[in-house]
Structure formats: structure tokens, C-alpha cells
Structure 1
Amino acid sequence: MLGQPQQQPAPISADEAFAQSILNVSIFGDDRDKIVAKWNYLQATWGTGKMFYSQSAAPVDITPENVMCRFKAIGYSRMPGKDNKLGLVALNFCRELSAVKPHQQQVVQTLHSLFGSKPNMLVHIDSIKELENKKCQMVIYVEEKLQHAPNESKRILATELSNYLNQASLKPQLNNLGIVEALAHVLPDEDQLKEYLENPPRGVDPRMWRQANSDNPDASKLIPVPMVGFSDLKWRVKCQEQETDTHALYMKKIIVKQECTRKVGTSLTPEEEAMRTKLQNMQAVVSAPTQFKGRLSELLSQMRMQRNQFAANGGAEYAIDKEAEDEMKTFLTMQQRAMEVLSETVNKDMKALDVIIKGLPELRQS
């Protein structure tokens, strides 16, 4: 009837629109629609572009996550997270690593204030690394000194720490630091792992996902992860290059130590003799009475005089405020943690080197 508004077509879902743009293109009403459908199919396989299928509908944006994208693969990564008792919480920043790294102490102080600035609560940085898309991640943990045993401390559980930081009242202060989320860095439980393995990610063929689960070389330590598009592949290659550089650095240190041990008792090479001569000349310059050694002796004499003066007056030799003392303790704790991580990494590399040495005869025979 005249005067009645035309009925608008019911909106369809994104998946239905994606299927229509490949199977049912109706723009021109002739053979050109088949050409457009083939073009849409080609765009879907490479994972980018826009697909048009109707004059009255908006185009469909194509992403690499669509089911028809061919640039996909499945790799394996180490099981994420650590024991909840270690208290590790990952803070994801929406800033680059170069912008966050110089202000680590400011982040620690701000977090300490969020915990009430309690003297028995210490915030530590476990690690900081770069993420994709110009972001970075800082892993922290918090130690609480026990009141009945001041020399002992315990770590706050990772789940408790993340729940505290995710409170709505603390969000503005975290956002001022560039922190967009705080996640407990813990191992997934059996139910979470089962749900992840049984449900393939969006755009991944379920058959491919099941095959990846069955081909897992070590299901207790590794999990399958999808790599969608060239950006994910590039990021994975970058992470592998960083790990390779780290291993190469420690291997270099091991080789240097081995070379020093091997050359014990042998005569110096011409290059080493030239370096010894340069070092002796430098030592002669430093040890000259009018140079650095004389100035250091003078400073040492003044310090001894001041020390004797303080002792005679019965006053304290040194005085330091509480904030500076806490900062020094925090810094020394961070250094101790770094040395522990370095020692752990060297031990792991030594074990890997032993495996390589033991496997060399078998490789030579094969």
C-alpha cells in the first residue's frame, strides 16, 4: 500500500556477511558478480582487504583471523607462567621498552606507595622485556618481611597481588605509568589447559589444531600456539634471535674461561705482550705521585682525620635517612636477584653444553 515505509532487511552477523561476500554476491546482477566473488575469495586467502557483496550492505573487512586465510601456522611455546608462590605479576605497558626502562625506580616507588608505603613491603623487578606493537612487559614480585622474624620474608601470592592491582581505585594511578593490565604470571591449572587445548583459536581449522596437539613433542612443557599473518611470524623470529644472542653471549664467556685455563703456563703471544706493555704504561701513569694515586692518598688521609674527629667527639660516623636506606636495600636486592638469574642461566647452559659434547661422537659416526 502507498504511504507505508519499506521494510528494511534484517541485519546479519559478521560470519554470515563473510559467507555472502564469497557465495552470494549480488551487486550487478550479471556475470560480473562471479568475478567479484572470486576477487573476494582471493582477498580472504591472503587475509587483508574489503569484500563487497551488495549495494545495500557495507563491505566486509578482512583480517588474517578469517577461516580462509592461508598464511597460518602452528608452533610450540614453553608453558607460560610460574608457581603461584613465586608471586610474579606481569605489568603490560603501552609504551616502548626504551621509554620505560630508564624509569624503573619511579615505577617501583609508585607501586610501593600503592601498597601503603609500608616499610616491611618491598617491590622487586624480576625482568623487563619488549613486546610486539611497540609495547613492553615488566614482571614484578612483592616481598613482605615477617614481624616475628625481621631477617626472613615471604612473597605475596601472584593471584593476590594481581587482584589487588586490578582494583578500580588503583586503575588511574597505573594508567599514569602507562600500565594497561596486570596479569598473574602463574601456570594454568588442568581445567584451563584442557579448555585451551580443546577449543581451537578463532580462524584455525579444528583438524589442524587437533593434529598440533597430537604432535606436541613434550605436552608437559610445551603448548601449541597459532601464528597468524606475517606480523606474528616476524615477532616469533625476533624472539628466537634474542634467545640465540643470549645463548651465544654465555657460550662466549664459557669459551673465554676455557681458553684462559688452556693457556696457563704457556708463553705470551706477540699480541698479548703488546697488551701487557700498554697496561704497564697505564699503571705507571696512574701510580705517579702527582697523578691519581697521590690524590687518592690525600683523600684517604682526610677521611681518616675526619673519622678520628668523629670518634673523639663521640658522635656517629655516618648518618643516612630512611628513604635512602630503603633505596639502597632495594637496589642491592635487585643486584642479588640478577646474579641468581645469571647463575641459573649459566648452569642451564652448562648442562646444554654437556649434552652437545656427549652427542658429538654420535653425530660424527652418523
Structure 2
Amino acid sequence: MVSFLSSTGGGLGGGLFGNTSTGTTSLFGSKPTTGGGLFGSTSLMSTAPTTTNLLNQTIIKPNTVHDLIQGAEALAKSVSGPELYGDKRDEIVAKLNQLSAASGIGKGYYKHDAPQVDYSPEGIFYRLKSVGYNRQSNYKDADGIVGMVMKTSPSNVATKEQRQKVIDALFVILGSKPTVHAHVENVKPLTDDLVEFLFYVYDKAKGRVSAKDVAQFFNQTAQFQQLQNQLQCVKITPRTQVSEQELMNYLKQPPIGYDLIFWKQCVKENPDPKNFIPYPIRGFEQLRERQKLQIAEINLQENLINDLRERLHTVQSDMSVLQNEYISIKQTKKQLSHRLLRILATQVLLQKYCKALDSDDERLHAALETVNAHLNAPGQIKEKIIDLLNKVETNSDVWKAQKLGAAKNKNVTIDKELTTDEVNHIRRYLTRCRGSLEQMTKKIEKTKKDLDIVMKEM
């Protein structure tokens, strides 16, 4: 199933964007109107029929019912019972006519005084035909998406610079108005020498111009002639969704040469009726064109996937660089935070040196004086600890004898006496206590001196 470019009818009179230039000057200089353009001189060619073409095509019907019956009888007689020779040669002619009708080529004769019968791929006896399914467009008319089929190699519109040249040419054809610009939507290769250029027109005063209005403007004779000369445009059509009424009418009426029962069966077996439309395929050429379009679509998807992979790789590389920068910035922030804390602490100290002592400082000074007095005053903690330590060191034997005597008076047996290690342990403990008290005393004295200096400075 291949998505074809949808199309509608040709251009109408009147300019959508006002009067525009109708000259045939090429994008790269003045050239004759019969050739030359952005991609060089080429001859125009028709493309395969599309879904919306089928919806809008007009079936040529006979003028009367008599003509219809007469045409059907002539076709049936040419393949079943020619009356040319009146012998077995008529059977051979019938088989030849059947072969021509099945192949969709040539002309058939069945009677001397009757007109010849033309065989075409639209005939009911044509056998090289089938039905495929085309994907409907997802664009709405308000989106303004227009498809322009150009006869050029996909490599000629592959880069941004090449696509910008096409946009510049469209800008000139639109009248070179500063408020009206064309923008690229997508570029899809159809075959080796056909490209579908999707774009939309934006008007600063109105927004996006509808797809049908843009297609109607470019399909005018003068504008389309410029598209042919400068961009080698084959056709330009709006990419819009098919209305429900158009779809119902299309599905109800089988294409020319298709049996109604077979067509209804194809409509019933549509794998996705919401997105796909049955599409008649006649002959090997149309089948090959569909295959080319399918290959081009696959190549386009592969290119998009490769582009996404490259972009993903680039994003991952950028993320690694940003991650390293983030770590560096985080480390710098931490260093700046530490510096800021030091600056704030210094600032607080400077403020305190410049300010008078408050009540909290006075209370702290009084508390330190009290602690110092309790520690260093005669008969206080420090002196008592020093005296106790001296007694332990000098009178250990006396205390031991007193303890033994007390135990004898109470009839208590001392199972275990203090060992030398235990005495040394007590001595070390008391020594540490004295050292701690001396350190505390020194700190208190230092703090007191600092407070005295501050008070003198004030």
C-alpha cells in the first residue's frame, strides 16, 4: 500500500494574492519559456493517477441509453461472435479480439458495415488489473499543505540551500510581497527523477492560507507556466483529507472497467477503512510505478531513521559535555560557598570589634570569672585535686594500713588488696584530671585577657 499525492481540480481565474508577475524569467536569469529553469531544461511528463483524482474524475457516459446498449453489444459481439467471413475464420478473429480486449490494446472488427471497437485498459474485459489501497492524507485544508511534483533528481533539493532556492522562486511567483512567504514542510522523492515538494504559504495578516486556495492560485495559467519554467513543476495539488461525502460517492461507484461485485468485495476487505482507500491498478506500468513509490518511501524512512540516529548521537555527546560542565560548575559553587562562609564569618567578627559589649557579652564575662574563681581560688577545686593527688602519691602505704585495721575491727577479711597496676591507674586518672583542669584554666585566662583587651579598646 503506497501513499500517493492527492490532487483536486485545476486552477481558476483571479489572483489569491493580488496581481503577480507573469513573466517567464528563470531563477538564474532570462531564458526562453520553452525550456530552462532551476534544474535545467527538461520535458514535462505525466505522473501516475492519484486517490483524489479518482474521487474527482468525470466519467464520460454515452449520451443515451441506446448508445450504452449499442456499445455493449458491439463489444460483446467483437469477442464472441464476429460476422466477417461466415466460416471458421470468424472464430480465429474472435480469439484475436479476446486477446486484444484482455490486453487493453488494439481495435476489434466484428462486421463489415459496423464501426470498429477500441480496446483500452478501461474495458471490462481487460485482465491486467487489480486493486491496491492508498493511504489518505492527514492534512486538513486549514493546514495549507500543498504538494508540488517536480521533474528533478532528489539530490537537487537535498540541502537547505537548494530548498531555499525553491522557496525564493515561489516567493517571486507569489508577487514578492513581504507579508506572504512560502515555507517547506517536507520533501519526498517519488522516483529517480520526480520529487514531491510539500510547502505551505503564510500570510502575516491572515495566517496560513488554505491548501485549496494556494493550489487554485498556482494552477492559474500564468503562475503554472512560471512553475514549469523555473521549477520544472509537473503538477501542484492540495494535500487535504477527503470528505465523507466524496468518499461515499467514490466507494459506491466502481471504477471504469471494474465489476461492481468485485469492487464491493475490495471495499469490504479494506484492512484499515479509516486510513486507506481502494485504488484501481491497471497494467504493469502502474504496478511498477507503485513499486517505485514504495521503494522511495522506504528509502525516505531509512534516511529519517539515520538522521534521527545521528541527532541522537549528537545529543548524547552534548549531554556528556554538559554533564562535565555541570560537575565543574558544581565544584566551583562549593568552593564559592566556602569562601562566602569565611567572608561572612570575618564580617561578623569585624562588626563585633567595632561594636560595644552587649549584655550577652557581659554575662559571658561574669560566668568566666566565676568559673576561674572556682578553679583557681584557694581551697577550691584545683587546689583540692592537687592536694588529693599528693596524698595518693605520698601516703599510699598509710591508707593501706588504715584500711587493713578497719577491716580487722569489723572482722572483715579483705580478699584482695590494691595492686600496683591499680594504684598506677588511679594515679594516671588523677594526673589527667589535673591536666584537664590546667588546660581549662589556661583557656579561661586567655579568654579573660581577650575580654580585657576589648574593654580597653572601647
Please give the TM-score of this superposition, normalised by the length of structure 1: 0.56
What is the aligned residue count?
246
Task: Name 2:182's counterpart in structure 1.
Answer: 123
Q: Give how far 1:140 is off.
A: 2.0
In the TM superposition, residue 189 of structure 1 has moved relative to its aligned partner by: 0.9
What code does the residue aligned with 1:126 have? E
Q: What is the one-letter code of the residue matched to 2:229?
A: N
Give, in angstroms, the shift of residue 70 of structure 1.
1.9
Matched, 1:26 2:49: no
Cα 1:106–1:242 change in 2 (3 A) is: closer
- The one of 139, 143, 146 equivalent to 1:82 is 139
Alignment partner, residue 112 of structure 1: 171
1:241 and 2:295 equivalent?
A: yes
Q: Are residues 1:159 and 2:226 paired?
A: no
Q: Report the RMSD for the aligned CA atoms in angstroms.
A: 3.7
SS in 2 for 1:174: helix
Shift, 1:229, TM fit: 1.2
2:272 aligned with 1:218, yes or no? yes
Say which SS state the counterpart of residue 233 (structure 1) adopts.
helix
Given that 2:139 and 2:239 are in contact with CA atoms closer than 8 Å, whether structure 1 keeps it comes out as yes
Structure with bigger gyration radius = 2
Higher relative contact order (CA 8 A, sep 6+): 2
Give secondary structure in 1 for the equivalent of 2:110. Answer: coil
In the other structure, the counterpart of 2:128 is 71
1:184 aligned residue (222, 235, 238):
238
Q: Counterpart of 2:83 in structure 1: which amino acid?
A: S
> 3-state DSSP class of the match of 1:67?
coil
Please, which of 102, 105, 114 is the counterpart of residue 48 of structure 1?
Answer: 105
Distance (Å, rounded) in 1 between the aligned partners of 2:98 and 2:207: 58
CA contact (8 A) 1:51 1:62 kept: yes
Does the Cα contact within 8 Å between 1:81 and 1:188 map onto a contact in 2?
Answer: no
CA deviations over 1:225-263 (Å, ceiling 9, x no partner): 112111122122222223333444555677899999xxx
1:265-344 equivalent positions in 2, closer than 5 A: none
Residue 217 of structure 1, CA deviation: 1.9
**CA distance in 2 between partners of 1:78 and 1:173 (Å):** 31
What is the identity, as a one-letter code, of the residue corresponding to 1:82? Y
How far residue 20 of structure 1 moved from its aligned partner, in angstroms, is 3.7
Instruction: Give the deviation of 1:32 after TM superposition.
Output: 0.8
1:35 aligns with 2:92: yes
Query: Which 5+ residue runs of structure 1 have no aligned equivalent?
Result: 1-9, 147-152, 261-366
Correspondences of 1:85-96 after superposition (within 5 Å) = 85-93=142-150, 95-96=151-152
Whole-angstrom CA distance in 2 between matches of 1:133 and 1:44: 33
What is residue 204 of structure 1 aligned with on the other side?
Answer: 258
Name the CA distance, whole Å, in 2 between partners of 1:237 and 1:214: 24
CA distance in 2, matches of 1:121, 1:40: 58
| Structure 2: unaligned runs, 5 residues or longer | 1-65, 315-458
Contact 1:67 1:205 in 2 (8 A): yes
| TM-score normalised per structure 2 | 0.46
